Chain A
Amino acid sequence: DVKVTQSSRYLVKRTGEKVFLECVQDMDHENMFWYRQDPGLGLRLIYFSYDVKMKEKGDIPEGYSVSREKKERFSLILESASTNQTSMYLCASSPTGVEQYFGPGTRLTVT
């Protein structure tokens, strides 16, 4: 079974803090994705990566950056957290970019 893990299930941070969300997959997948999910808006793609050190902007990259130094790990960085970044963050990995395997999500609250 594919396993995608995220570093925290719940996180509370203050406005202006730098926040790291970590995602690790154990299936040697090339592609990894970061989404956020907000009520009434569905899953929206923030960034994705199709190889180590490669990254592509998704639909809503503003205020975020990513890092992929190793194949199994994809990090989402909030350089200066703001209250409008309070959300559920989901990581996914995929061997082909099509069928995706999701982590359990991190619910981030920025106060």
Chain B
Amino acid sequence: ILNVEQSPQSLHVQEGDSTNFTCSFPSSNFYALHWYRWETAKSPEALFVMTLNGDEKKKGRISATLNTKEGYSYLYIKGSQPEDSATYLCAFLAGTASKLTFGTGTRLQVTL
């Protein structure tokens, strides 16, 4: 079983703070790295699919970077808002695999 780790496990920030969290994955046999946002009582929603080393993706105030050589991805949220409160999951797809391996998630809570 592949090891995909996320840190921190949980995070509590004030509205307006910028924050970031990490996903670590095996650096060999990389194919793709996914980020999902999972709000309470809703379905996990895809944020980004990243495939190239050095990739940087952005959606509004949320961005992600990818380093496949060292096996990590960062997710950044600029100016956090209460609606950003969710669990953020990363998922790794190896080149030979047909299924995603998920990390344990980072639970973000943004308060006023």
Give the interface of A toward B (CB within 8 A): 4, 33, 35, 40-45, 48, 50, 56, 58-59, 90, 97-105
Contacts and interface: CB of A to CB of B under 8 A. Distances in A.
B42 interface: yes
Nearest to B104: A42
B59 interface: no
B108 to A, nearest CB: 15
Secondary structure type dominating chain B contacts: loop
Interface of B: 1, 4, 6, 9, 32, 34, 36, 41-46, 49, 89, 91, 93, 98-100, 102-105
B47 to A, nearest CB: 11
B34 A43 contact: no
Contacts of B4: 42
B99 A90 contact: no
Nearest to B6: A42
A102 B42 CA distance: 9
Contacts of A44: 102
Contacts of A104: 41-43
B7 to A, nearest CB: 13
Contact of B46 (A43, A48, A99, A105): A99
